[in-house]
Structure 1
Amino acid sequence: MGIQQFKLQVSLRLGIALYFFASISCCKHASTINEVGSCTSNLDDSNPSSSALHGVNEFITEAYFEKHASLIDSDFQGFLSKEIPLEFCEVLQDKLEPVPKLSISHRHLIGEGSHRRLSSSIRLEIQPGSKFTLPAHFCDAILVEILPSGVFADPFELQHLLQRGVFTGATVFGDTNLELPSVRSNRSIVEIHMDIGPNVLSGNNNGLEINIEVPLHARYAPLGEHEFSRVEFSPPDLFTRCSFEGKSHKQSCIFLSTNKSLELKAGAVVWDVPCGIKEHTGIVSVVTFFSAIVSALLIVFTAFHYSDTTGCNNLKQM
């Protein structure tokens, strides 16, 4: 009998210790994913294009969150229009004249359930008759996606895609807490960089086109009057960043896409996320309450039955 009690006490202490360490680990994990999650590819310092394109200010949205604590649409659009150096570099006026424009030709969701991919087909438009030649590995297409409330991008999944070479850069700014429901979470921004060298471009009669797929997850939607909560995606902001050798040093220039015609034709992307219905709250609460009571009684009954069985076996051994 004493041995059984000793084993039980040891098991209880081990269980409490494991629970304590697990709680500490969860707290650390939560505090980590609340911060900005960013991932960059391994850069080769010997490659001039890599060192020029991926400098100190690699991500456009990073500078915004250095000055603003939260994401506000008006502040962010003002930041894009006023604070980003969108200008023609002297060296690019000769090599990239006219400057190519990026536009969205098609957007749609891929997959089913709460884990999907937002696919954006980006067209690189070049004016007919121009002598534009895109230098390999010297230009990046940058997609800045402001995610609506109700969805989020997993930084760890983006890191996996980055390691596979799908993107040249990827980051998530804002609320990256994966466990929060929609009502307790804030919006976030995903910034994706992709090489637009000849190795990833597919040519057609209207220009060049690339495809970017951003993995997304749906959050728990709040209770509503209907079975689904509608999440609508706005068109992203597109940039082209190119780097060349200047007269005195390397120059990296960012160009904002100004062609919105195809983006308007593409229309908004909608994701209907399942949610609970308010009318069913009472029934669900009652069923959950009685299920918890029955489960607790079963646990107590099993514990007493195990204790009685152990006591009888010990008496027989004596």
Structure 2
Amino acid sequence: MPTWRCIQLFIYFLAWASLICSPTSSSLADSISSPVHAKPFSPVNKFLMQSYYDRYINLHDLDFEKFMSQEVPYGSCDNLNFVLRLSDLKRTLIGEGSHRTVSTLIQLKTQPSKSFSELLSNSCKFMIIERLPSGVFADPFELQHLVQRGKFSDIAVFGDTNLELPSFLSNRSAVEIHLLVDPNILQEPTDINMELPLHARYQPLNGSGYSAIEFGAPDMVVRCSTKEKMENHNCFFKLEKDDANLYGAHIVWRIPSGIKAHAGLVSAVTFIAALLSTIAIVVASLYQPWCF
């Protein structure tokens, strides 16, 4: 019986080793990571951030602002005399600890245009881009569940989607959220509510035991398709927010982290516990019958 037991353990070990060594299939997080070779802006891409990562490797604010101001063709539908402006933006953090939700209330004010609804298709996409600060990430799998539940029409995470990396080893990421809206609604004052679940990465040690992570205001663009068959049938409208009322647009998340002064004590306790466990395993193995 001991021999048969050892053979079973050996078979289990081989199965475990084969799983570890075999190449893993690409995950959802990998599938939404963008390429790094540069290409011109293409309105055919479903996501604006996909076009950004076609040109840039990492997310930097200066590169992104340059991309949004120079690459996105906002004047592609000059025949539409339509201006979309932000009236109010209210942002709050919900929850405590390392798993929280960013709640955003967007209030729009518009300049009515008779030709707006006549020339556009039945729906437009309200696109919200959250540039996440370093040390915070969004779980792509969790966000896809929100799409399935009808919270968003589409959503994707771009940039560093490795959920296991600590803050000091990770790069920034961005979340692009799509909401379907009726063009007629955009001609009236409109409120849009959104909640985005986020998670904190492991933070470096410091003296206070907390790391302060600041969020900026999201970037918002409306993308509509025209009813006419044109070569470029996409119209982009930038959300102007120069005179908007911003309430908590720059929110701060205090993420728990280890206290540097306690690092030595924790290391000593961990070492002693590991040493005692090793000794206990060795002593216990001396009293077990050998396999062969």
Change (3 A) 1:33 1:295: farther
Give TM-score scaled by structure 2 length.
0.84
- The equivalent of 1:143 in structure 2 is 128
Match of 2:263 in 1: 281
Residue number in structure 1 paired with 2:38: none
Aligned length: 281
8 Å contact kept, 1:137–1:195 = no
Cα 1:114–1:137 change in 2 (3 A) is farther
2:37 corresponding residue in structure 1: none
Aligned to 2:139, which of 142, 154, 170? 154
Residues in 1 aligned to 2:93 and 2:237: alpha-carbon distance in whole angstroms: 27
Residues 96-148 of structure 1: CA deviation (Å, up to 9, x unaligned): x4333245521111222222211111112124x76698688511111011100
Show the counterpart of 1:316: none
2:24 paired residue number:
28
**Structure 2 letter corresponding to 1:274:** P
Code of the aligned partner of 1:37: I
CA spacing shift, 1:132–1:290, aligned 2, 3 Å: farther
Deviations 1:276-313 (A, max 9, x none): 111111101100000001111222233333439x99xx
Q: Is the 8 A contact 2:123 2:183 kept in 1?
A: no
Q: 1:35 is paired with a residue of what secondary structure?
A: helix
One-letter code aligned to 1:252 = N
Gaps of 5+ in 1: 39-54, 312-318
Q: Render the CA deviation track for 1:38-76: whole Å, top value 9, x for unaligned.
A: 7xxxxxxxxxxxxxxxx7311111111111111121111
**1:191 and 2:173 matched:** no
Distance 1:178 1:103, change over 3 A: farther
- In the other structure, the counterpart of 1:51 is none
- 115-124 or 98-107: which moved more? 98-107
In 2, Cα distance between equivalents of 1:271 and 1:22? 39
Is the CA contact 1:36–1:176 (under 8 Å) kept in the aligned structure 2? no
SS at match of 1:87: helix
Task: Give the one of 49, 52, 55 matched to 1:64.
Answer: 52
Q: Structure 1 104/220 Cα, relative in aligned 2: closer, same or farther at 3 Å?
A: farther
Deviations, residues 212-269 of structure 1 (Å, cap 9, x unaligned): 1112111000111111001110111111112221265782211111214436443411
* Inter-CA distance 102–17: structure 2 relative to 1 (3 Å threshold): farther
1:153 to partner: Cα distance: 0.7
TM norm structure 1: 0.78
CA shift at 1:190, angstroms? 0.7
- Partners of 2:165 and 2:233 lie apart in 1 by 42
User: Aligned partners of 1:198 and 1:130: how far apart in 2?
Assistant: 11
Between the aligned partners of 2:247 and 2:74, the Cα distance in structure 1 is 26
User: Could you tell me which amino acid in structure 2 is paired with residue 35 of structure 1?
Assistant: D
**Structure 2 counterparts to residues 169-188 of structure 1, below 5 A:** 169-188=154-173
Equivalent pair of 1:241/1:253 in contact (CA under 8 Å): yes
Out of 195, 220, 223, the residue aligned to residue 238 of structure 1 is: 220
* Partner secondary structure for residue 108 of structure 1: strand
Distance in 1 of aligned mates of 2:71 and 2:175:
19
Deviation at 1:157, TM superposition (A): 1.0
Counting aligned pairs with the same residue, the percent is 41
Q: Aligned pair 1:37/2:35, yes or no?
A: no
Q: Which amino acid aligns with 1:28?
A: T
More helix by share: 1
